[in-house]
Amino acid sequence: MAELKPIYNSEITCPVCEKIIRISKVRSKFIKLIKQDDDYCPHYETINPIYYEAWVCNHCGYAAHNTVFDQITRYERQAVHEKISKRWTSRSFSGERNWEQALEAFKLVLYNLQVREAQYSQLAKICLRIAWLYRYEGIIEEDINYSKFAFDFYKKAYTNEDLRDNLLDEYTLMYIVGVLANRIGLKDEAMRWFSRLISISSNPKERDKIPAGLLDNTRDQIYTIRTEMKEEGNKE
Ligand SMILES: [Zn+2]
């Protein structure tokens, strides 16, 4: 019997150029989560499925996150065609990916989103993943840089976007904004987001809608930041 490989390919149609493309996925039995950071960055034992979340069409340069690959409007398709496809040199992103290829694929997704003038929440999600990729390699400066972009975009998403159709609920979004604020050194700002979330939860109607575990995590964050602030205050 042939040995089962962790990566397998499947074929889909590109929603921009309508050609058949080959995308690669990780078999779930090879995915072993070790831990997760406070901003939900997952760490895996060997194969990292995050590397494969950015799908790229080798024919036209269209790239998007695997969860929303088909979701593109006619206007956006036109924009990708005009600004990306015309200058695209064909290269393949299928098969096993190393870190550099994963990063390149995600940067292409980000570029596509900018060209499409996509929603802030989409931009935020991709910037956060790029931050994670840098974190995996210990490149802290770029991790912080992209965490800052994600923080700004998530904040804009919170004020400007209708989150009802979004996979991310507004409470988790508030929590992530708080966590990112803390990661980029804005402790007061982080505290404001966490406190807002706790005060919302005092309303029983809202409380029921808050995902399980989120309030405990929020309280942990508040406790940690308060302790750090106290220690910093004592040093002065
Ligand atoms: Zn295409």
Taking phi over 0 as left and psi of -120 to 50 as alpha, with beta for the rest, 132 belongs to alpha
Q: Which residues surround ligand 1, an ion (CB under 5 A)?
A: 14, 16-17, 57, 59-60, 62
Instruction: Find the 142 Cα to ligand 1 centroid distance in Å.
Output: 29
Instruction: Find the 14 Cα to ligand 1 centroid distance in Å.
Output: 5
**Distance of alpha carbon 63 from alpha carbon 70, whole angstroms:** 10
Render pLDDT for 138-153 as a digit per residue (tens, 0 to 9). Answer: 999 999 999 999 999 9
Q: Is 38 helix (H, G, I), strand (E, B) or coil?
A: coil
Q: Let me know: does 33 contact 42? Beta carbons within 8 Å.
A: yes
236: pLDDT confidence band, cut at 50, 70 and 90?
Answer: low
Place of tokens 């942990």: 220
Render pLDDT for 83-134 as a digit per residue (tens, 0 to 9). Answer: 999 999 998 999 999 999 999 999 999 999 999 999 999 999 999 999 999 9
Instruction: Find the 76 Cα to ligand 1 centroid distance in Å.
Output: 13
Q: Let me know: does 44 contact 34? Beta carbons within 8 Å.
A: yes
The amino acid sitting at 203 is: N
**Distance of alpha carbon 31 from alpha carbon 204, whole angstroms:** 38
Residue 165: predicted pLDDT: 65
- Which of 153, 155, 127 has the alpha carbon at shortest distance from 142? 127
Instruction: Find the 102 Cα to ligand 1 centroid distance in Å.
Output: 18
pLDDT at 185 over 70: yes
